[in-house]
Amino acid sequence: MTTEPTAMSAVELVTAYSTGALSPVEATRAALDAIAERDPELNAFCLVDPERALIQAKESEARWLSGHVQGLLDGVPISIKDIFLTEGWPTRRGSTSIEADVPWPLDSPVAARLRADGMVFLGKTTTPELAWKATTDSPLTGITRNPADPSTTSGGSSGGSAAAVAAGMGPVSVGTDGGGSVRIPASFCGIVGFKPTYGRIPLYPASPFGPLAHAGPMTRTVEDAALLMDILSLPDPRDPTALAPMMTTFRGQLHRDVRGVTVAYSATLGYAQVDPEVAAVLAAAVARLEAAGLRVLAADPGFAEPRAAFEQLWASGAATMLSKFPEGTRDRVDPGLRAVWEYGETLSAVDHLDARAIAAEVGIVMGAFHTAYDVLITPTMPITAFEAGHDVPPGSGLRGWPEWTPFTYPFNLTQQPAISIPAGTTSAGLPVGMQIVGPRHSDDLVLAMARFAEQVLAG
């Protein structure tokens, strides 16, 4: 185990606290030093609060010394995407139309659970305006860059969280995922990003994107993601769509034997174009899983590309949200978001229901698919990170971000759990992610499979 605090996982930090080898104050100072050193280049944080973080760290240190630890990850430094309400801090969501200098008295369920566990809040991470796209830049905070290559995008919309974790600016973070926004930057930055079953993590306020919207942990290890899930999935009465608590723990199921599980591998989902080097990295990773004892069969799920339905649902949600913003917002927002807003205003209730029906059809197809295959493996992304500051890869001729994220948004439509873990790197050193998808409510299986794959691929 490394003794450098910024390279340690959350679990390793807690172990070090328990033995007295390290204190929460030392770990927090190391994370704050890393932010001071690396964030001027990467721009992962829109708010850092060293004073508040050190107060929380000292309180945690006292609990460890007294033997009255508050939670699973007491004293572990964490960042929070600037989408979640966090008491005492502005939640501007990357928008110049949201004022900072107003009271911020509420914690979202995510922030409330992390606070109750005793975690140390470092600050808030960047997001594209209102988390609308799969890269992270906004009129408010500028461009967030990828630690693997700062000339490239970190992905989005949880790109600030991914960059922070990948760069050692805190071991864990929490993002949101409405079409891949946890998994896309996880893939681009070479970390773990988990989107659980819809409703597994309570949300408040309710998202205008409805059941597309998920929260999820972003970490350097699957074990850390499982522990965060045990914290984040605790109930909150403000979310009437939240699922009932699990009868077991995610950490308790993490090390189960998955070698008897039947795995489907779909290299394209039947319709995606994948960069040859990405395809080669994934194929090699899958071959290693087979050699380790997994039964892997090539199989596509069988649904047609559902991008049009996703874009209708996304645009109608954006239009609903932005219609409540102050006058003049249309002139200030990201031009790409304005185009989505205007498209959403052309859609009717019938259009929205038709799109929901297509989402349900894809869910039915996936339900049938999982009667034959316990989990599905795909690439997380068909490409690696591209030049920062662009919504689509330069020179690609693509119109919008859903065109280059064909593996992620379908599983927001179906509300299934899906995780991205590092699968390897290209010859240029850019990370490639592997996505593991399971049936709805199989979050524990997906995490256990990801843990097995993580160990095999690290060996």
| The pLDDT of residue 386 | 98
Token pair for 167: 């760069």
| 3-state SS assignment for residue 217 | strand
Residue 1 pLDDT exceeds 70:
no
What's the pLDDT tens digit per position in 72-111? 999 999 999 999 999 999 999 999 999 999 999 999 999 9
Residue 448 pLDDT exceeds 90:
yes
Residue 208 pLDDT exceeds 80:
yes
What's the pLDDT tens digit per position in 403-444? 999 999 999 999 999 999 999 999 999 999 999 999 999 999
Q: Which of 9, 23, 79, 81 is catalytic?
A: 81
Check: CB of residue 413 under 8 Å from CB of residue 309.
yes
What's the pLDDT tens digit per position in 299-337? 999 999 999 999 999 999 999 999 999 999 999 999 999
**Predicted TM-score (pTM) of this structure:** 0.98
Residue 447 pLDDT exceeds 80:
yes
What's the pLDDT tens digit per position in 13-28? 999 999 999 999 999 9
Helix (H) or strand (E) holding 59: helix 50-66
**Burial classification of residue 343, based on how many CB atoms lie within 10 Å of its CB (0-12 exposed, 13-18 middle, 19 or more buried):** middle
| The pLDDT of residue 85 | 98
Mean pLDDT, all residues of the chain: 97
| The pLDDT of residue 246 | 87
Q: Which of 60, 95, 157, 442 is catalytic?
A: 157
Nearest-CA neighbor of 408 among 376, 431, 364, 442? 376
User: For residue 173, is the peptide bond before it cis, meaning its omega torsion is within 30 degrees of 0?
Assistant: no
Nearest-CA neighbor of 450 among 280, 230, 223? 223
Check: CB of residue 417 under 8 Å from CB of residue 443.
yes
**DSSP string computed for 386-447:** -BTT-SS-TTS---SGGGG-TTTTHHHHTT--EEEEEEEE-TT--EEEEEEE--TT-HHHHH
What's the pLDDT tens digit per position in 272-301? 999 999 999 999 999 999 999 999 999 999
Q: Which of 181, 207, 316, 442 is catalytic?
A: 181
124 is catalytic: no
- CA separation for the pair 457, 284 (Å, rounded): 10
Confidence of residue 12 (pLDDT cuts 50, 70, 90): very high
- CA separation for the pair 438, 446 (Å, rounded): 6
What's the pLDDT tens digit per position in 361-392? 999 999 999 999 999 999 999 999 999 999 99
What is the mean predicted confidence (pLDDT) over 161-190? 98
Check: CB of residue 385 under 8 Å from CB of residue 149.
yes
81 is catalytic: yes
The β-bridge partners of 80 are 124, 174
Domain spanning 7-309+335-458 has what CATH number? 3.90.1300.10
- Please report, for residues 77, 246, 336, 428, the alpha-carbon distance to residue 37 in angstroms, rounded to integers and kept in the order given: 17, 40, 32, 25
79 is catalytic: no
| The pLDDT of residue 247 | 86
Domain layout of the chain by residue ranges = 7-309+335-458
What is the mean predicted confidence (pLDDT) over 159-181? 98
